[in-house]
Amino acid sequence: MTDELQQGIIRISDDVVATIAGLAALETPGVAAMSGGISEGLAKRLSGRNAQKGVSVEVGQVEAAIDLRIVVQYGIPIQEVGRRLQENVREAVQNMTGLNVVEVNVKVEGVAFKDEETTEEPNRVK
């Protein structure tokens, strides 16, 4: 009798990795939103359910490669945001899945400006 037991295979779906990467990206300072791409129109801020927007992944048995499309906040150095984003996504995916993240590619597709406060003109009549 052998002490080794075959435990089976654990597979992590692409959607799971994409969701983890998307949530980690949205938590990164300087990332205003994920971009759905040119075909989906303007970039929108996304919540957990749609965290896969702007994220493409390729998942193997032990490795993953991730592509992100983002919109950055105006005034924050894009290089810093990109590097921080790569680190956060790599760490989140590796910690939660055990997969070795070999690439995190970032494509900046836009810049978000703070909403300008509109000053309302007072009513002329009461």
Retrieve residue 26's tokens: 């949205």
pTM to 2 decimals? Answer: 0.75
- β-pairing, 63-73 vs 100-112, is parallel
Q: Which helix (H) or strand (E) holds 34?
A: strand 31-34
Q: Which helix (H) or strand (E) holds 93?
A: helix 78-97
Model confidence at 58: pLDDT above 80: yes
Instruction: Please state the separation of Cα 91 from the chain's center in Å.
Output: 13
Query: Helix, strand, or coil here: 126?
Result: coil
Asked if 68 contacts 54 with a C-beta cutoff of 8 angstroms, the reply is: yes
- Confidence label for 14 from pLDDT (cuts 50, 70 and 90): very high
- Confidence label for 10 from pLDDT (cuts 50, 70 and 90): confident
Of the chain, the percentage scoring pLDDT greater than 90 comes to: 63
Specify the higher pLDDT residue, 11 or 38: 11
Model confidence at 75: pLDDT above 80: yes
Specify the higher pLDDT residue, 117 or 18: 18
pLDDT for 5 equals 59
Give the C-alpha separation, 71 to 108, whole Å: 6
DSSP-derived letter for residue 98 is -
DSSP-derived letter for residue 95 is H
Retrieve residue 114's tokens: 């703070």
Count of positions (residues) in the chain: 126
Rounded mean pLDDT, 1-11: 66
